[in-house]
Structure 1
Amino acid sequence: MTHVLAIGAHAGDLDLTAGAVLAQHVLRGDRATLLHLTLGERGHPRMTVADYAKQKREEAETFADRIGAGVRFLDHEDGLLPEDDETKMRVGDIIRELRPDVILTHWSASIHKDHARTHRIVEDARFYGGLKTLEREHPAYWANELYYADN
């Protein structure tokens, strides 16, 4: 059984770019998990940030439920995603915990700064996740395959 971890900057990003791939894996009996680093709550021109955050979280949870995937959220703000060691370690810890065979994330040259940052965060988090000399709660784990999507 393969486990696919899709890591996106905003709730909805990897749903749109890789949702069909994730659903296909689940239908084959594999596991899929979506990790959203922000909710993308500043992306609506008329809704308040709080209302849109609530809607985005509900949409992400519904999508994951409908395709049979797991879903997780980090608590960073849309447009202000920090590219720091703390964030990279948190994502690395999730990689160690979930032990995915495949990671999907954003392409490096995306026009959106949160997408480009997520690309670099995931690259470093994968390294930290696999670093055996870095002691964390879960044992080191190297995810063998890393693929990119862009929206």
Structure 2
Amino acid sequence: MKFSNERRGMQELNTAALPDIVFILLFFFMTTTTFKNTQVQVENQLPSAKVVEHLERTDRTITLLVGQPLKGQAAAEGELSALIQINDRLLGLQSLENEVLKEINTKPQYLRGEVEVIVKVDAGVRLAVVQEIKEKLSALSVRKVHYVALPKGDG
């Protein structure tokens, strides 16, 4: 039996269908992507910090905006003049637990035990409000709470 020592050239790859595949992928991502358009309804001037870390996973987060009511909105009585915004809903401290529980239940089952809460607190909010939020989140067994701050400038 004789084997041929001749080397065959590489066959060319047919790329005729490549533009079709690219457009199908583009169409798929355009139709499945959603953008969050929430309007801030509370004052939210963030404090500054020397050390700021970036949060990597946002699929398991719930964001709370805490601040003074904007002009034309009044805080409920006994709310220490601060409102909490979750998505497009404004609420007071007394309804925080129910609303956070609703948000947790919107997450996939495998993420519900790993939910992290991001709190963006206005620099003018009293510490008593932040402490009350911490206690209510602790009652819901939320183990990770992140506070957002702006990086302090070097100059």
Q: TM-score, normalised by structure 2?
A: 0.35
- Determine which structure has the larger helix proportion and give its number: 1
State the structure with more CA Rg: 2
